[in-house]
Amino acid sequence: MNKKKLLSMAVAMFLMNNKECLSSEGYHKEYSNGTVYIGNEEYLDGLKNISSNDILVLDSRGDSDPDMKVLASYLINDYDIQKEVLEILLEYEKNNPSLWKRSLESMQMEWYIHNLMAKFSYKLERTMDVDFNNDDEEKYIDIFEKKKILK
């Protein structure tokens, strides 16, 4: 067997065994209930055979206000799942650096506020998806700190 074929087989085996994958179009990683897909609109629109538990994240980190948007986030009410998804976003950023900078705590609070507003059908066109843009990093942190103090 030649070296090129061996290398090809090794790469194929690695990809089959690796639960995360980054390509030029997008990224995906498994979480406890399904798969998180991160990419541009073209990548997300082209996904086939996704399940109701899969989570789509629009990567707009190249914009003037870098952003990652969890689509239909109002359907995800389990805080452990939310945290899992957010940790995947932070890991994705760490492995694919950009100017996007958000803390876990600020994203948790922003998601909480978005879901609360969506529950009351307040501006659904804006609260159905949670977008984690840089400009909002400090926006929700005061609320988060107050919530921690009240516990």
pLDDT averaged per 10 residues in sequence order, the chain, 151 residues: 47 40 73 96 93 96 94 96 98 95 93 91 85 83 53 46
pLDDT of residue 32: 96
pLDDT of residue 139: 75
pLDDT of residue 45: 93
What is the token pair recorded at 118? Answer: 């969506």
pLDDT of residue 17: 40
Q: How many CB atoms lie within 10 A of CB 33?
A: 15
H/E stretch holding 56 reads: strand 55-60
User: What is d(CA 92, CA 74) in angstroms, rounded to the nearest whole number?
Assistant: 22
**pTM for the full predicted model:** 0.78
